[in-house]
């Protein structure tokens, strides 16, 4: 109990010392404030930007492998680029061959897309992303509907002229009235609207958004567009099981089945690419890791200056209170009491600066930046407070130790 009582007294002494020299305190914490602000602001911007970009790639799905002609990443070195163009596109027959044989897939689907213009009466929407899908599309990709329903399996098999519209399209074609159940025209063909996607909001980096998308059955899509070689290229996509080796096992399965379907000999190389959506997320993460390091460097210099400022003030404070230290020690004050007294002062000074920096970032998060929303996460708040505490300890430990080791007689004689 005595230890905790003395610790509390040390803390009170530290607060009193900061209050008695308010101007010096404010000037001292500015360096830490700027440093913490720089680091947390960069991290908040990086986290918000990274989250926004990754969410913009949500249309690719998560834990998904796509069968394409071209790889997302760079292919083998010195690989002739023209060989990619000679590769055959995926086909509906390959999908029907692969789908029932995959054991490590949560879902398998095929889809094809094109830009189109959709009409309803005198209203039209240009640049719509039109996608023909199979019933299993919802097993691989998220289909969040605000109104209506998804296609039934019989409707897909019968190639019914039904459509699911994005919110922006629905509002453009049928302003101030429900679009559900109404008719729309795509390339002269009539479609009945059976569902409306949940609104995603303004897109980022001009990437596809469900607000400007339209889903129709794959058979209905084939009535309007030619798919396959010399036409629109369909994409086979499979979602792996949530296991440690799920995606690896799925990749091996698809490779074996597709090679068998295409009749490739063991000596022949693959004439397809299996692209994992995680590659894009990892690439984005790597870029922002570099930006985060830059944030540490920028903020680190400011914090370093702030740390030196706190250390300088603490040395001055020790010199000013040498007499008091001598009196305290002569009355029986332990070394750790003196040590904590000055250490708490340095930490409090640094923490106040850190909190001020975090508050500035919080205020900054309310400034509108278009479609980008800045979010100050709890992790970044904890990081800012943690860095502030460490700077306070590092800056205050040396002057606090010198104060604790003073000889009481010599300290009292000092003027």
Beta bridge partners of 112: 132
> Model pTM?
0.66
pLDDT lower than 50: segments of the chain: none
Q: What is the dihedral of CA 249, 252, 256, 258, to 10 degrees?
A: 100
Distances (CA, A) of 133 to 107, 136, 230: 13, 8, 20
pLDDT at residue 236, rounded to an integer: 92
64: helix, strand or coil:
strand
What span, in angstroms and rounded, lies between the C-alpha atoms of 310 and 287?
34
pLDDT at residue 3, rounded to an integer: 54
β-strand 189-197 against 162-165: which pairing, if any? Answer: parallel
192: helix, strand or coil:
strand
> Is residue 239 within a helix (H) or strand (E), and if so which, with residue range?
strand 235-240
pLDDT at residue 20, rounded to an integer: 66
What span, in angstroms and rounded, lies between the C-alpha atoms of 254 and 98?
7
Alpha helices in 196-242 (DSSP H): 218-224
pLDDT at residue 160, rounded to an integer: 94
Tens digit of each residue's pLDDT (9 = 90 or more) over 43-96: 888 777 777 776 666 556 678 888 888 887 665 556 677 777 888 888 889 999
């Amino acid at each position: 109990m005595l230890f905790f009582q003395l610790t509390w007294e040390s803390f009170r002494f530290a607060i009193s010392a900061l209050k008695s020299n308010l101007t010096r305190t404010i000037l001292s914490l500015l360096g830490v404030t700027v440093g913490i602000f720089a680091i947390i602001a960069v991290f908040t911007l990086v986290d918000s930007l990274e989250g926004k970009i990754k969410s913009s790639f949500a249309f690719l799905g998560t834990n998904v492998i796509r069968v394409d002609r071209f790889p997302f990443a760079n292919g083998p070195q010195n690989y002739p680029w023209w060989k990619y163009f000679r590769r055959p596109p995926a086909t509906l027959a390959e999908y029907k061959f692969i789908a029932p044989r995959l054991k490590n897939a949560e879902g398998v689907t095929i889809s094809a897309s094109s830009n189109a213009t959709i009409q309803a009466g005198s209203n039209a929407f240009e640049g719509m992303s039109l996608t023909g899908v199979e019933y299993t599309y919802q097993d691989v990709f998220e289909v969040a509907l605000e109104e209506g329903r998804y296609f039934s399996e019989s409707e897909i098999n019968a190639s019914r002229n039904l459509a699911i519209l994005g919110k922006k399209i629905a509002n453009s074609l049928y302003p101030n009235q429900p679009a559900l159940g109404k008719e729309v025209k795509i390339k002269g063909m009539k479609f009945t609207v059976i569902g409306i996607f949940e609104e995603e909001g303004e897109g980022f980096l001009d990437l596809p958004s469900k607000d400007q998308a339209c889903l129709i059955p794959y058979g209905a899509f084939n009535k309007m567009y030619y798919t396959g070689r010399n036409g629109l290229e369909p994409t086979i996509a499979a979602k792996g099981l949530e296991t440690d080796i799920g995606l690896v096992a799925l990749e091996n399965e698809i490779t074996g089945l597709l090679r068998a379907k295409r009749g490739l000999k063991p000596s022949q190389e693959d004439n397809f690419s299996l692209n994992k959506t995680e590659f894009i997320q990892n690439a984005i993460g790597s870029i922002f890791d570099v930006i985060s390091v830059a944030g540490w460097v920028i903020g680190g210099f400011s914090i370093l200056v702030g740390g030196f400022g706190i250390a300088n003030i603490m040395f001055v404070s020790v010199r000013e209170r040498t007499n008091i230290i001598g009196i305290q020690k002569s009355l029986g004050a332990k070394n750790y009491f003196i040590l904590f007294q000055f250490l708490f002062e340095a930490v409090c000074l640094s923490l106040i600066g850190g909190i001020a920096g975090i508050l500035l970032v919080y205020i900054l998060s309310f400034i509108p930046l278009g479609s980008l929303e800045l979010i100050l996460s709890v992790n970044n708040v904890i990081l800012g407070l943690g860095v502030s505490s460490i700077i306070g300890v590092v800056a205050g430990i040396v002057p606090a130790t010198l104060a604790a080791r003073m000889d009481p007689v010599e300290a009292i004689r000092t003027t």
